[in-house]
Amino acid sequence: MEKRNIGKSAVQVTPLCLGGNVFGWTIDKAQSFEVLDAFVAGGGDFIDTADVYSAWAPGNVGGESETILGEWMKSRGNRGRLVIATKLGSKMGEGQEGLSAKYMAEAVEASLRRLQTDVIDLYQAHIDDASTPLDETLAAFDRLVKQGKVRAIGASNYTGARMREALDVSAARDIARYDCLQPNYNYIDREPYESDLRPICLAHNVGVIPYFSLARGFLSGKYQPGAALPQTARAGGVQKSYFNDAGWAALAKVERAAAELHARPSQVALAWLMAQPDITAPIASATTAAQADELLGALRLDGARVVEMLR
């Protein structure tokens, strides 16, 4: 399985990233271990999480996903074979949010403890923090890299203007730069990524690991016109966003391609993303080992053919 670099960094990953947002939320520890085992057994090595996962769930405080991932790596003894990405900046509690240098120094230590590791391969700003100068945030990231606590840094949910400004700050100060971007991007949700962010990522060799790669599950095929909504936490939001003429037309095209290729719709949607010249690895979540296997099946499709079929 050919690996891809995360931007200009030396960090290499398989072209599919397992999303850890479900760990400790829609699946428990034992189920999470099964999904992680299946993903690695199938050749995957790239896992993305965040400190805030999953603070929104009743009874949770945040850090649940990182904790489960850390316990799994310790039990399997496989940390050295994996690329672990996590994020900071979202609200974790009173006074625990943002991208100030002081808070970043605290947040990284908490994530390292939960992950039971001494280095984070990709550390990302989860959301932009307009109240903190980019100069301060990037200098703090640079210190973490030089301290050996972080290998590469990235940003999520940045606008094109903010991403360009961040890259300019890093270049001017000769400090660590955002080598990766994590935007919302999939076969249906093409903008604003394609017009606002893609040109910057291509021009500056910034890796891209999009979230909502399956349009929050809509492109998996489990949603159908006239059918009852699945009993999932995201069903209502999916209905609001994609139950329209454009959404159904896109799903129908993906399903036709899947039938012709003897594949699953989710595999076709992921293969389309993997074939884009700017995409390092789309992020997709699984709640069962079978789903993890299904996602990995996207790697066996001919990406160029999929792109042509979905034009």
Strands 12-13 and 207-208, sheet pairing: unpaired
Q: Is 178 a catalytic residue?
A: no
On the 0-12 / 13-18 / 19+ scale of CB atoms within 10 A, 235 is: middle
- What separation in angstroms does the CA of 3 have from each of 148, 229, 277, 295? 23, 37, 14, 17
The length of the chain in residues reads 311
Nearest 10 degrees: Cα torsion 258, 264, 267, 271: -10
Residues whose CB is less than 8 angstroms from the CB of residue 191 and which lie 6 or more positions away in sequence, other chains included: none
Residue of 53, 123, 185, 242 with catalytic role: 53
Q: Locate 86 and state its tokens.
A: 């996590």
CA neighbor of 284 nearest in space, from 270, 272, 300: 270
Catalytic annotation, residues: 53
